[in-house]
Structure 1
Amino acid sequence: MAKLAPEQIRAARSENMKARARDFAMVQGITEADLVAAYVGQTATAIVADPDRLLPWVGKLGDVMALTRNAHCVHERRGTYLDYRTGAFAAMVLGPEIDLRVFGKHWVHAYAVEEPGENGPRRSLQVFDAAGDAVHKVWLNAESDHGPWADLLANMRLPEQSDRLTLTEPKPADPAKGEPDQAAGLRQAWDAMTDTHQFIGMTRDQGVNRLGAYRIAGAPYAERLDPKSVTLTLERAAEGQIPVMIFVGNMGCIQIHGGPIEKVMPMGPWINVMDPRFNLHLRTDRLAEVYRVWKPTRTGDVFSVEGFAADGELILQIFGYRKDTPAEPWNALVAELPALEEVQA
């Protein structure tokens, strides 16, 4: 099926303005980036996608809402973009509320969007990868500083403003990589870790990936849990006032909530955190594999709950919040989660 032309996208959208952008795009057989680009010259302006140039400007906008998602989970966090740090492999935003890991090679198309709203213009910055999938979005609100918006557009506007996009095919998620006969070497390398950040390098050295490592290593390194354990983790953390770190990401950005959560609400297949400055929306029916993961560090054992989709994509990770916080309540919570074998028995 041929992709819709910009004028066709706009005509179809005018007849269905209430549908969420992602849902509308899927029904039309286009990407979210196609939808936004169709309005270039009207409500959208094509801007530089380089995070080293864009994110310092976002810091000038004050209190905003940061949104990072994958196909199964949406992470929304209010705050200010502070302490931006560039890097050869990844950049970081390290503010007390907005905490990001940014992989700039996947920031390919970006737009400043200004749409009419009931209480004035609704402004956002939207970044997409080469395939047109959303990488990261920033939404301004009534508390944001809208003063720098015009300067941001003037400085970041691309010379060429086109309502058409050339996109690549999306890259599928990596399936589990590794073989059972690698278990002994993997466990030995796992035992030698002294920091959680060594994990990816360790798996690379062992010739496996994250999901492959979890399947091969087995307990006590990684133990398969009942998929309901993710909901239980959120509910029990809220009930016990146990602060957590919740990581949700895609190829271009990982967004992290650090601190307590309060209001956990199920709604159909979704489990939601609906706090004033943090929202999470997770499709629990997409959790194909969930693991309780242990990692040794020089400051003590670290436990996490991690969920994967059927194609092997990492959906989210939940850790205990470690800054000036005792580890015992979180460790006890994770230890009590039901293993998959117990449920099946």
Structure 2
Amino acid sequence: MAQTETAQLTPDAIREAFKTRGGRARDVAEALGLREAQLVAAHIGQGTTAIAAHPDRLIPAIERLGTCMALTRNASCVIEKDGVYSDYHPGEHAAMTLNPDIDMRLFPKHWVHGFLQEQETDTGIRRSVQVFDAAGDAVHKTYLREGSDLAAWAALKADLALPEQRDVLEVEDRTPPEGAKSDPSKRDLLLKEWRRLTDTHQFLRLCAKFRMNRLGAYRIAGEPFVRALAPAAVPELLKQAQQNAIQIMVFVGNRGCIEIHSGPVHTLKAMGPWENVLDPGFNLHLRQDHVAEVWAVEKPTKRGAAISVEAFDAEGNLIVQFFPVAKDDNDHRPAWKKIVAGLPGLEVPA
């Protein structure tokens, strides 16, 4: 276990600093040299309870809360969806919720630290379930809505509270960004097997076979499967989807959770570096200034060509992916293909 440099701050000092500084817990923790989970843990006994974090126990309990807001983020993008955490499918390495509104892929080994929070706000008590990985970074958060079941909340607290409630939390070092892994000498082999794909889920296995990753493969593949786009392609894509009433799939995730929106986008609003979708039941917040590379990618499938637009940050981390919503078991959507083809490209790839 490795502590951050200022982890010697007492819980009292952390709480006072949070109260004095205000703002988002993530930002305050960073300013203090802590991880967000350490800041949350400092409030144990002050409206915060440590709970079992494994999704096999947690997600069924959250389902009983009724309608909630599900929030998943990485350093550059946040997705928020309202709905019920129903249709949960457990799995040792990957689990899923398949509700049309709360559609997630969960990776249980990263669900390490769990908390319930009850915070006093100007509008009343805000209740949330927050899960963090071993490094203390947020994996997923659930916020109760006005109609959520408070009896189920009390039951969740009673059933999942840990026997030991400690307000000091040890965290591990963060895993360094992987960056782009590529092997230009294997480009021909990569493209040969790329043409044989029958499902998009086969792609990462293909990359692993040649000891590459997603971004590394994109950088060497080139036409006809990959085209480098300008960073400005992302807000343009959202605008085109809005104006043409195209239903899209938006994937936002981190090591422990991927959350998916499937449907239209209506209200777009840029605020400083943030590009935002502000729709009832669905919000997206993207740090456009973090977008360093964007790729239009085509993968063959049995249901037609699947075309995505994918954005990465300067360290090679995947920020967000966009696909069309497939209809009638067909991945090929001509209107979507036309929009992607019209997005601004780069003469020289990043």
| Structure 2 residue runs without a partner (length 5+) | none
1:153 aligns with 2:165: no
Equivalent in 169, 179, 197 of residue 193 of structure 1: 197
- Please show how residues 143-182 of structure 1 align to structure 2 within 5 Å: 143-182=147-186
Q: Which amino acid in the other structure matches residue 176 of structure 2?
A: P
Match of 2:342 in 1: 336
Percent identity between the two aligned chains: 50
User: Deviations along 1:93-127, whole A, 9 cap, x unmatched?
Assistant: 00010000000000110000011234432100000
Counterpart residue number, 1:74: 78
**Cα distance in structure 2, aligned partners of 1:183 and 1:167:** 40
**Alpha-carbon shift at residue 343 of structure 1 (Å):** 11
CA distance in 2, matches of 1:255, 1:37: 25
Partner Cα separation in structure 2 for residue 175 and residue 296 of structure 1: 25
2 CA distance for matches of 1:332 and 1:293? 13
Question: Residues 343 and 160 of structure 1: is their aligned pair in 2 closer, same or farther, counting only changes over 3 Å?
Answer: closer
CA contact (8 A) 1:182 1:216 kept: no
* Unmatched segments (≥5 aa) in structure 1: none
Deviations 1:245-273 (A, max 9, x none): 00000000000000111011111111000
Per-residue deviation, residues 202-221 of structure 1 (Å, max 9, x unmatched):
11112110000000111221
* Correspondence for 1:301 among 298, 305, 326: 305
Q: Which amino acid aligns with 1:217?
A: A
Instruction: Give 1:54's aligned residue.
Output: 58
Aligned position for 1:271: 275
Partner of 1:239 in structure 2? 243
* CA deviation profile, 1:325-345 (whole Å, cap 9, x unmatched): 87111111111111111899x
Give the total of aligned pairs.
343
Contact 1:226/1:343, CA 8 A, preserved across alignment: no
Q: Secondary structure at the match of 1:147?
A: helix
Trace 1:222-233 onto structure 2 (pairs within 5 A).
Answer: 222-233=226-237
Shift of residue 16 of structure 1?
2.2
Question: 1:255 and 1:174 mapped to 2: Cα distance?
Answer: 21
Contact 2:42 2:168 in 1 (8 A): yes
- Report the Cα distance in structure 2 between the residues aligned to 1:278 and 1:215, rounded to whole angstroms: 32
Over the residues paired in the alignment, what is the CA RMSD in angstroms? Answer: 1.5
The residue aligned with 1:217 is: 221
The 5-angstrom pairing of residues 8-87 of structure 1 reads 8-17=13-22, 19-87=23-91
d(CA) in 1 for partners of 2:125, 2:275 = 31
Provide the secondary structure at the position in 1 that maps to 2:182. Answer: coil
Distance in 1, matches of 2:226 and 2:114, equals 38
Note the alpha carbon deviations across 1:223-260, whole angstroms, 9 max, x for none. Answer: 11011001101111011110000000000000000011
TM-score by length of 1: 0.97
Q: Give the secondary structure class of the aligned counterpart of 2:151.
A: coil
Deviations 1:173-219, CA, capped at 9 Å, x for gaps: 21111121110000011101000111111111121100000001112
Cα deviations by residue, 1:108-162 (Å, 9 ceiling, x for unpaired)? 1000001123443210000000000000000001122222011101110000000
Query: Would the aligned equivalents of 2:6 and 2:32 in 1 still touch at CA under 8 Å?
Result: no
Question: Structure 1 residue runs of 4+, over 3 Å off?
Answer: 117-120, 323-326
